[in-house]
Structure formats: structure tokens, C-alpha cells
Structure 1
Amino acid sequence: MSEVSHSDTVRQDAYLRVAVDHLPYGIALFGADLRLVVANPTYAQVLALPETLVREGTSLDEILLFVARRGDLGPGTPEILADQRRRLITTQPTTLTQRLSVLGHYIEIHTSQAPGGGLVISLADVTDRAKAETALEQINHTLEQRVDDRTRALTLLNAELEKARAKADAANHEKTRFLAAASHDLLQPLNAARLYTSTLFERTRGTPMADLAASIDASLNAVEDIMSTLLDISRMDSGALKVTRSNFNSLDLLKKVEIEFQPLAEEKNIDLRVVGASFLVRSDRMLLARVIQNLVSNAIKYTKPGGRVLVGCRKRGETVRIDVIDTGIGIDSHQHQLIFTEFSRLEQGARIAQGLGLGLSIVQRILAALDHPLNIESIVGKGSRFSVTVPRIAQSEPVAAVQDNPAARPESRLAGLQVLCVDNERSILDAMSGLLENWGCDVRVATSLKDISQANMLEGWVPDLVLMDYHLEQSSGLDAIEWLKQVAGGQLPAILVTADRTNAVRQLAEARGTAVLNKPVKPAALRALITQVTRRG
């Protein structure tokens, strides 16, 4: 039985030796006396040891001294280096080191103290792995360098872009300032010219000269529309368009639009009506009014005499839909997007009315800023409906509006109305006084409050209405109105007549209860607003 066991043991040892010899790692076992018991061929191959140093019984010191003398343990005295290495691996339970041999191979050496004494050393040639790690480290370093270079480049680019943006912002700011000055300086003489031609037309009504005056007025009106529209588009594109939302009555806004466009509709023999109920909505009052004004203006422009334009509002869930409906020429469904393109006009529309095709472009820009949807329904030859949807503010049920037939209203009676006109442009005062006097008004004019005071203009004469420019030499027109109210000792109807079209001026005027009329003044709109403000008619 013992012979069988011994045989099995020998066979197992042989198997184990074969297995160790074929391992890809170098393996060596040293006894308690630190002499070699066994080592596989890979051990000798990796350490490049001569055959005499891998024989059984070779001491560890001999092997260490050999590799130290060869330079594998680094610079220094071989004996000292070998002794240091021996003491390290015999006193530590385990060690793991990686060295570059003089043959140019990276060797990873692992030592471990065996149970009962002795030492196990395993080693591997990790040259390929070390090179891969070195290459990867180099790649990482290169990538980091490239990232750093790219970051610096992006930083420089961002700095250049910031400079360019600042320069563009400054240019836009300067352009906005220029446009504000240009709109005032250009619209002032145009305002005087329109007032003069309106006076000339009314004084020569029924004569051949009236047709000439009407033609001049139409040309000036076209110039005004083009200038105003281009200035508005430029302000929007330069970022000067600011949205200020508030709650207001939708029907009140539509009624003001009706007052403004009723004279134009009557001139073309078009029935303009506003219907609907009162709803509290939330939007920018000035910008929404501009949208409705442009839509109504287009509706009247492209509706033939005898046609109708209906403006109304109705509740749609949590919103209010404002409709502008006309019996005009209509628009083909394939051309709906085209009408919003700048300087684009449909052939049939161009034959009916003059223009540059900018009104609906402004409408689209404003509605985009307000985030209000616009819907179009149109039938060629029958008419169109433009619908703007705005948020509704919850309130009690709206009260139906009293239907007002503009055609049935008596003509405004302005005869005897005492009007004080204040403007720093003498030509505008002359033109305005001529127009108002032709309507039968008692007019007095001044270029400043100082003129009024020095001429004792208000002694024994109290104005029923003040038409005030905004940009005066010594004060703003709104402050001048407040001073006149104190002098008059009570309520004094006033209209701010200004070429300044900014929201800030309009909002300040509304806060003080003063109506605003932009230059160039349309005589029909002026007459309608005077009638409304003074409640005469």
C-alpha cells in the first residue's frame, strides 16, 4: 500500500513539475536556508541567468550578486545592492517591484515568504505591457496638451467673440440712438408739410386745386408710412423692442382703433364697425394696439368702396380671439406665408393700393415677441379674417357692449373750441393753427411755457384743449401740461403730439391721463381724437 502511495506521489510531483515548467511566469522556490529548491525554465530565461545559477542548491546571494553586478539592481556597489535586496525580500511578507534590466526588458518581480520558512519568487516579462502603459501615458499627455491648446484657442476665440458682440451691441445702441434722433428730425418737417397740405385741401375743397392738394397729401402719407415702418423694423431688429405686459380691457383697445380709422373708412365709403363684449386680457397694450392697427389698415386698404370691415373679440376658453374681418380681395391659401415677407406684395393687392409690403412683417415680429398666435382664413374675391389670440384674465361675466353705429353719430362740432398749441417748431405751429382755424377753433400758439407767461396768453382766455409737443427746450411736454393744469385751476384736456414713438413716453403719458398722437399727424385722426378728448360732437 505504501509502495502505491509513493508511486502516486512521484507521479503527482512529475505532473506538477511539468505544469510549472510550462507556466508563462518564472517560478523559483528557495528553502529556509535560502538555497534554490526548484525553478522553471522561464525563471532562468526572464532573468537571463546562466545554467550554473539555476541548479538546485544555488544560494539566493549568488543570484542577487550576479544581477547586481550586471546592473539590474541599479547603480552602486554590487555587494551592497545585493545585500539590501536580500534583506528586503526576506524580512517582508510580500514585495512587488518592477525593474528595467540591462537587456532592456521590464521585469515584474513578486516575492512571498513560504509557510515554515523559505521564499517563493515569481516574475514576468512585462515589457509589452510597460510599453503600452508608456504609450497610453504619452497619448494622455498628448490629449491633455491638445485639450489645453484647444481650451486656450477657445478662450481666445470667446474673447474675440465677446469683443465682437460688445462692438455689435455698441453699434446697435448707436444705431438706435441715431434712429431715435432721425425719426424726430425727419418726422418734424413731414408733420408740418402734412398739416399744410391738409389745410390747403380743406380751403380749396371743390376746386381743381383741391385735387392737387390731395395728391400731395397722399404722397406725404406714403412717405410717412414707409419711414415709420422702416424705423419700427430697425428698432425691432436692433433689440429695442421691449415687451411690457399688463391687464386691460380688449374692447377699449378696439374702440380706440375704431376712432383712429373711422375717418379713413368713411373716405373710402367702407363700413367699419367694432363689436363684441368686454374682456380683461393680458398683453403689451401698445404693441397689441399696433398689431390691430396694421391689420385694420390693411383691411381698409384692400377692401373696395362699399365694403365692410368688422373688428371684434370673443372668448375662447382661457383666451380671447380678436378678429379683423373684411370683404376685400382675399388671399390664396398658398400665399399666406408670402404676405409676411418684407417688401413682398401680391400682384392683385399692388394694383389696388400703394405700399412696400412691410405692415404684416411688423405684425409677425410683434406677435412673435408677444407669443400670440395668428390665424388667417381667406377666400379669394370674398374677404379675409385675421385672428389674434391673447390670454384672458378670469373675471365676472362680461357685459355686452353697446353697439355704436359710427355712421349715425353727428359730425364733430369743433367751432369755438379754444385750443392752445405748444411746439418748439414754428413751422408746425403755423401749420397746426391753420388747420384748426379752418375747423373753426380759436387757436393760440407758443414755443415754450416762457412764451405763454411773457405774452400773458392765459389772462382772460382758458383753453378747452392743449396740443403739446413732448420735446420742449426747457421742459418735457408732460411737465408743461401739469403746469398748465395748475394755472387753469382744474381739469384740462390735453393731447401729447410727438415724434417720439418709444413705449416709455407713451406709458408715462397714459400714467398721467394724457392721450398721445404721433407725428406726422393725420388730420382725420387728430379731429377724431380731439372729439373724443373734449367730448364734443
Structure 2
Amino acid sequence: MAAKDAASDTNDLKTQIQHDLDEVRLGQARLLLKRTRTSCLIVEGVILYFTALIAFSGHPVFAGIWLVLTSLMVLIVFLYGQAFRSGITAENHKRYLRGHTLISAMTGLVWSGLAIAYLDPSSTLNLFIAVNIVVSIALGGMLPSAEYRPTFVSLSTGMFLPFSLFWLATVDGPARLIGVGLLILYGFGLLVSARSELQTIETLAAERNRRLNQKLQEQNRKIEKVSAEKSRFLAATSHDMSQPLQAQGFFIRALKEEVTTKEQADLLAKIEAAWRSQKDMLQALVETARLSSGAITARTSAFDLADILSELEAAFAEPARQKSLSLSIEKTSIAVETDRVLFGRILRNLVANAVKFTPHNGRITIDCHEGRDGVLIEVSDNGPGISEADQARIFDEFVQLDNGPDPQGLGLGLPIVRQLAEKLDLPLEFKSQPGWGTRVGIRLPAAQRAPERKATPFPEKAIDGSPLILVIDDEATVRESLAMLLTQWGCRVIAAASGNEAKRILSWANEAPGFIIADKRLANGEDGIDVIAALRDEVLDDIPAALLTGEVYDFARLADLEDVTIIPKPAESETLRAALDQALEGRTAN
């Protein structure tokens, strides 16, 4: 297996190298075609120069022959380029280079053949002109502008080798060494041309990288633009969707105090279950967006597992009862260390998934195992199980398997589990078999410090002292539902739609509010954070506050606000009550 992987990696590397080489050759072919006209003009100038020299040396007829044949080769080069005037592509560049190399070899042979025909060992001027014919054109291939080395090799080989060998065979005396020098120049030219081609390749690679960087920067700008638009859309959508759900939740909680019969209570429980389902779906969407954006920040603390397991039992006892499920939770008192809120969300999603897909009269268990490598919590069920092929997909967003008679949700529960586990660096174990059920385990580090004290649930009684609570929300239904709920808790309520309205009402009041509940996103661009700060400056600088927010991306920044409790919307009434009790208890103690 390892040998196959190594062979596969080698083949992939060879393929990549070949692809890169093809890209370079494509660039070289395009440079050759682009410079064809200029090269032809330069060579034709050299031809005219030697035509004049040959004519003035007393060989006008040969000068004419020289002019015609060499100019014909220049014309062939030019016409060959014209045949590709539609452009060099990945499909035709190799054919173009092969043809160009062949024409260069023919050019070299024509030039060397004419030089040999012109050579007269008895004439010094003749020897000088013949050597210059061969050397001058071959030197061009050594210049950095020589784009394609095989072209130079074919040209110089066709020129130098026949002429040098003929020189060595026919020229006597010290001048014979010139033939050796021409061979040395030929070898030197091959070395220099290799360096010239390397410079060309580096230039092409640099240009290619520049173009790729430009494309990458353009793509990054597009991605940033789309991401910003997505952020604005999600922020607006989560806020607008959470507002009516928030009002519904507070109204439902207030209505609980008014029901008088079992039938009314059962009907209200069904309404609350439908509301909770909507709330959970919205929270799943918001959480997925926040995880994708990196807006969630983990805050490690030590806590007792028994507390969070008791919360799970309270949350899922009724849904499990409705499906006649056996929900068994081992409430072991073990202190662990991670982000309590995010870990609680992981367990809630796992248990919710188990409740959703386990058939009636099924069994769900939550077990805890303490060992040297930490604490393992396992959520198991005897549901339909998941095939091995589907197990690779279930942690992808918006994937729903047809494993239940009544599919619900958006397919975001397990993806959120995976992302939160990665965020907290907690190993996730997953085992499932069709017909036998599913077991999901998550391993936590044991706490190295004393666990934090869990806040006591608020009692079902009025708050002492009838505190004055200031509610600021631009939605009338949210203000009304909050006012109704707070009144049932024994609070006096001032409700305002904006910061300015709150200031005007407070200017008539005889006392400062004991607590502020403000929406983060108010009408006309007003921000709840600024409103709280302004009221503290004007009324009392240590008023505790709660900020209700449906914003997706601001949680990390909001978490640093002094004496402000951040409550994601739509919020449970219990969450608000706990924040209110804690704040008022702190003011009483002070």
C-alpha cells in the first residue's frame, strides 16, 4: 500500500512538473511569435551587410546568390509565423516550436553551406568574411533574448559543425586554429544559451506569478465583498427573524401564569414546542454563520458535569416522554474544563439528534467515564443507525438522511457539533451501525481547578422591592411582551422605542432604573450599546444592563462590555430572569 502511495505521489509530481513545463513552453512559443517580425528585420539587415561585403570583395554574382537564398529563409520564417497569427494556444504551441526548430536547422545549414562555398583559404579577407558569416548570426542565440534553446541548438549546430570541420580539413597553417576556436565557441554557445533560456524561463515564471497574484487578489476582493454582503444579510435576517420569535416567547411565558385548566396548559405546551422548534432552527442558522466567520470565542472554565447533565435531563425529559423514549442520564459529579456554554451546545445537539431519530419506545443513554486521558461522555441510542457510506456526510451542513419517519430541522445539528468540537479541540468519536443504533463520544480534559459555582435557577416568585426596569426596543410587540413578563415578576416597567425616548421618560421619573434591557439593533441606525453608555453618563454610571441581540458577528466584541449581560435572541425567559436576579442581587450587596 505504501509503495502504491509513493508511486502515486511520484506520478502526481511528474504530472505537475510536465504541466509547469508546458506552461513555460507555451510562453516561449508566444514570445517567439511576438518577436518574429523584429527578428526577421534584424537578420535581413545582417544579410544586406554581408551582401555588400561579398560584393566589394570581388564576388558580385555570389553576393546575389547569398542575398536570394538567405532572404528566402527569412521569408520562410516570417510566413511560418503568419500561419499562426490567430495565436499560440496550449493545443498548438508544441507544433509551432517543432516547426520553428526545424526551420532554424535549415537556416543554419544554408548559411554554413554558403559560407563553405564562399571560403577561399588563399584570401585573408575571404576568410574574415566567411568566419563572420558563421559567428555573427550564431551569437544571437547566446543573447538573453534567445527565447527557446532548441532553436539556437539547431541553428548553431547546422552552422558551426559543418563549417568548422570543413575549415579544419581545408585551411593550413596557424589559421587552422580558427576552426578549433569555432568549435570551442560552439560549445560555449550551448552553455550560454542554456543560461539565457533559464533567464527566459524565470522571466516567464515571474510574469505568470504576477498574473496569478493579480487573479488571486481579484478573487480575494470578490470573496471579501461576498462575505461582507453575507454578514450584512445574516445580521439583518437574524435580527428581523428573532424579533417576532422573541415577542412570542415572552408572551408564551407570561400566558403560562394565566392558564387555569389542563386542556389550556396542554395546548400552550404544544404552542411552546412549536415556538421552540422555530427558535432552535434560527439559532442553528446563526451559530453556523458565526462558526464559519470565526466570530465565536471559546472561554475556558472549570465546571461540574452534574450541572450540565441535569440541565439536559430537564430540557429533554418531556420530548422523550412524548415519544415514549427511555432517557437515562448518568449524573456523575466530575469536574471538567472547557467552554461550558459551547460544550453544553454540543451535548444538546447530540441529544436532540438522538431524540429526533430514535423510534418510539426506544432508548437513549448518556454515560460518563473518567480515565487517565480525561473524561469521556457518550450519547448512545438504539435508533436506526447510519450506514458507513452516509457517515462521511452527516457532519456536512444541510445534509439530512432519510432515517426517520418525520424529518425535521435543517441538517445543521451535527455540523455544529463538529465545528464546536474543533473550536474547543475536543476529540469526537462516532460509531454507528444500521439496525443497532449510534454512539457519539466526546473527550474532555479533567479540571485542574475548583469548578465555578452554578447560578441558582430563579424561583417562581416576584422579585423583591419591585425594581424599576427600563426596556428599550423598537418593536412594539417585544416591548409589550417584555413589559407583561416583567410585571408578572413584580417589576415596574418603563418601555421606550429609542434612546431619546428613554431619556425623555426618565427625565420625568422620580428614580433611576435598577436595570436596563436594550435591543442591540434599534431603528434609524441606533445602537443599543451606545444607548446604554449614554444613559449611564446621564443617569447613573453603574446601572447593570442586558443587551438582547440577534447580531451574528459581534459576540466577541460585545463580550468585553462592562457590566452588560449579552443575551442572544430569541432568548428564553429563564435566561433573562437569571441575568436580572444576578444583577439586582449584586446591587443589593453593594
TM norm. shorter chain > 0.5: yes
Hey, what's the Cα distance between the residues in 1 that align with 2:377 and 2:188? Answer: 74
* 1:104 corresponds to 2:152: no
Aligned to 1:360: 414
- Pick from 350, 362, 375 the counterpart of residue 321 of structure 1: 375
Match of 2:479 in 1: 429
Change (3 A) 1:187 1:260: farther
Instruction: Identify the residue that residue 28 of structure 1 maps to in structure 2.
Output: none
Contact 1:273–1:311 (CA under 8 A) maintained in structure 2: yes
Inter-partner Cα distance in structure 1 for 2:309 and 2:529: 24
Partner of 1:163: 218
Give distance in 2, aligned partners of 1:529 and 1:333: 44
Q: CA deviation at 1:327?
A: 5.7
Which residue does the alignment assign to 1:412? 460
1:520 and 2:574 correspond = no
What is the aligned-residue RMSD (CA, Å)?
5.2
Partner of 1:388: 442
Residues 107-140 of structure 1, C-alpha deviation per residue, up to 9 Å, x if partnerless?
899xxxxxxxxx9997865777765665665566
Change (3 A) 1:432 1:245: closer
- Cα distance change on mapping 1:228 and 1:298 into 2, 3 Å: same
Matched-pair contact (CA < 8 Å) for 1:265–1:272: no
Which amino acid in 2 is paired with 1:467?
A: I
Matched, 1:373 2:427: yes
Q: Give the letter for the 1:446 counterpart.
A: A
2:103 match: none
* Deviation for aligned residue 1:388: 3.1
Distance in 1, matches of 2:511 and 2:533, equals 16
Amino acid at match of 1:412: E
- Contact kept in structure 2, 1:501 and 1:518, CA below 8 Å: no
Can you give the 5+ residue segments of structure 1 that lack an aligned partner in the other structure?
1-64, 77-99, 110-118
The code of the aligned residue for 2:304 comes to L
**Distance (whole Å) between structure 1 residues aligned to residue 126 and residue 313 of structure 2:** 104
Where do residues 478-517 of structure 1 align in structure 2 (5 Å cutoff)?
480=532, 483=535, 494-502=545-553, 504-505=554-555, 508-509=558-559, 512-517=562-567
Please give the residue correspondences for 1:259-338 in structure 2 after superposition, counting only pairs within 5 Å: 262-263=314-315, 265=317, 275-281=332-338, 287-288=342-343, 290-298=345-353, 310=366, 314=370, 316-317=372-373, 320-321=374-375, 323=377, 325=379, 329=383, 331-332=385-386, 334=388, 336-338=391-393
C-alpha separation between the residues in 2 aligned to 1:357 and 1:157?
Answer: 37
1:461 positional shift: 6.4
**Counterparts of residues 12-51 of structure 1 (less than 5 Å):** none
Can you list the C-alpha shifts for 1:297-346, whole angstroms capped at 9, x where unaligned? 445656779977658685644xx436253667474573544432333344
Indicate conservation of the 8 Å contact 1:452/1:458, yes or no.
no
Quote the Cα distance in structure 2 between the aligned partners of 1:455 and 1:305: 57
Change (3 A) 1:243 1:439: closer
Aligned-partner Cα distance in 1 for 2:386–2:340: 31
One-letter amino acid of the counterpart of residue 460, structure 2: S
The yes-or-no answer on 1:195 pairing with 2:250 is yes
Question: Residue type of the partner of 2:461?
Answer: R
For residues 434 and 585 of structure 2, what CA distance do their matches in structure 1 show?
41
The one-letter amino acid of 2:562's match is R
Measure the CA separation in 2 of the matches of 1:261 and 1:373: 24
Higher strand share: 1
Q: Partners in 2 of 1:72 and 1:402 — Cα distance?
A: 104
* Paired position in structure 2 for 1:97: none
The residue number in structure 1 matching 2:280 is: 225
**Worse-superposed segment, 480-489 or 411-420:** 480-489
Displacement of 1:216 in angstroms is 4.6
Give the TM-score normalised by structure 1.
Answer: 0.60
Instruction: State the shift of 1:218 in Å.
Output: 3.8
Which one of 202, 207, 210 corresponds to residue 152 of structure 1?
207
Distance 1:126 1:512 in 2: 87
Amino acid at match of 1:497: L
Distance 1:287 1:159, change over 3 A: farther
SS at match of 1:455: helix
**Secondary structure of residue in 2 paired with 1:356:** coil
Where is the helix percentage greater, Structure 1 or Structure 2?
A: 2
The residue type equivalent to 1:413 in the other structure is K
What is the Cα deviation at residue 430 of structure 1? 0.6
For residue 344 of structure 1, the aligned residue among 385, 399, 416 is 399
SS of 1:431 mapped into structure 2: helix
Note closer, same or farther for the CA distance 1:292–1:485 as it changes in structure 2 (3 Å cut).
farther
Residue pair 2:428, 2:440 contacting (<8 A) in 1 also: yes
For structure 2, the 5+ residue unaligned runs are: 1-119, 132-158, 169-173, 322-326
Asked if structure 2 preserves the Cα contact closer than 8 Å seen for 1:470 and 1:478, the reply is: no
Shift of the alpha carbon at 1:410? 9.3
Cα separation, partners in 2 of 1:186 and 1:530, compared to 1, 3 Å? same
2:520 corresponds in structure 1 to 470
- Stretch moving more, 364-373 or 143-152: 143-152
Evaluate the alpha carbon distance shift between residue 472 and residue 259 of structure 1 in structure 2; reply closer, same or farther with a 3 A threshold: farther
Letter in 2 for 1:362: I
- SS in structure 2 at match of 1:343: coil
| Aligned CA distance change for structure 1 residues 261 and 438 (closer, same or farther; 3 Å) | farther
Correspondence for 1:249:
302
Q: How far apart are the structure 2 equivalents of 1:480 and 1:340? A: 40
Shift of 1:432: 1.9
Verify the 8 A CA contact 1:197 1:217 in the aligned structure 2. Answer: yes
Judged with a 3 Å threshold, the aligned counterparts in structure 2 of structure 1 residues 510 and 392 are, in CA distance, closer, same or farther, namely farther
How many angstroms does 1:457 deviate by? 8.3
Cα shift at 1:390: 4.8
- How much identity, in percent, do the aligned residues show? 23
Q: Give the distance between the partners of 1:124 and 1:171, measured in 2 at CA.
A: 69
Report if aligned partners of 1:67, 1:73 keep a CA contact under 8 Å in 2.
no
Distance in 1 separating the partners of 2:503 and 2:336? 46
Cα deviation code 1:435-492 (max 9, x no counterpart): 34455655443334544443348956676654332335666348627956995797x6
Tell me the TM-score normalized by structure 2. 0.56
Equivalent AA in structure 2 for residue 522 of structure 1: E
SS of residue matched to 1:339 = coil
> Radius of gyration: which is bigger?
1
With over 3 angstroms needed to count, the CA separation of the structure-2 counterparts of 1:379 and 1:134, relative to structure 1, is closer
| SS of structure 2 residue aligned to 1:153 | helix
1:203 is paired with a residue whose SS is coil
2:375–2:446 CA contact under 8 A, matched in 1:
no
CA contact (8 A) 1:259 1:528 kept: no
Change (3 A) 1:192 1:106: farther
State the Cα deviation string for residues 171-226 of structure 1 (Å, max 9, x = none).
21222122222222232233223433454565346376666655554444333333
